[in-house]
Structure 1
């Protein structure tokens, strides 16, 4: 057996895991859960609500799981009329990002913003082609990029 490739351990606080809340509520506040994880899955800056969401998304007890990189995203697609429902970027999975990046093709003015665990943000817009800019300071210079290169770029940034 090749072994597991985990490179981090995550400690889960009581307000996130809520173990024993029904049968021994006085014990809950003293319990921290520890699981093997991948460093790319957590920013360390998550709110309690985001930590609860990540805890539910990851399937931490599955020791054969692949990494699920930390990802916040927002988007608006003028062609499909799909869009994010919150004001800021919300947590999602990488497959959703890749699907939305492909889906903006042909939607003039469509965009996808995505943020990795380091808080670095990129914005992709459709203007007859895909244009990518680092968006952390909202003044990155956009550059044209092909869809396959864009997909590879996005996946690599999420695994940093």
Structure 2
């Protein structure tokens, strides 16, 4: 199921150099006030992919609607803001090759993509952060279908509370 998150990614907060960076970091949601409506807006930061906005917006709307929230563009209780990017990344692939009964390791360069997502859900009135997720993953075979966006966003927002 985690592979569906691959379409949704952006840099993580800095981590201690003694431990490896996690590929997903989520701030637990705040559950202090009743919320009913939301809006979605892309933050067009450096590296943001405008061509993915429509699918991502729809996936957020689908996930929050499934939790009982209503989408509105005017005076929402919550604002969902995000930046989403993909960039080319050269990787290395090692593969065994048998030659005359001896197995060698063949090394070749690959062209993969690194996907990044930064997502926040804010209280519209106070601008308090209700939920935050930052993801940074390498994509080997990216599938940018609406279905995969829907699954990935639903999984990211799995712990976000339902509407009251």
TM-score category of the 2 structures, normalised to the smaller one: under 0.3
Q: Normalized against structure 2, the TM-score is what?
A: 0.23
User: Which structure carries more helix by proportion?
Assistant: 1
Of structures 1 and 2, the one scoring higher in RCO (CA 8 A, sep 6+) is 2
Q: Normalized against structure 1, the TM-score is what?
A: 0.24
User: Which structure carries more strand by proportion?
Assistant: 2
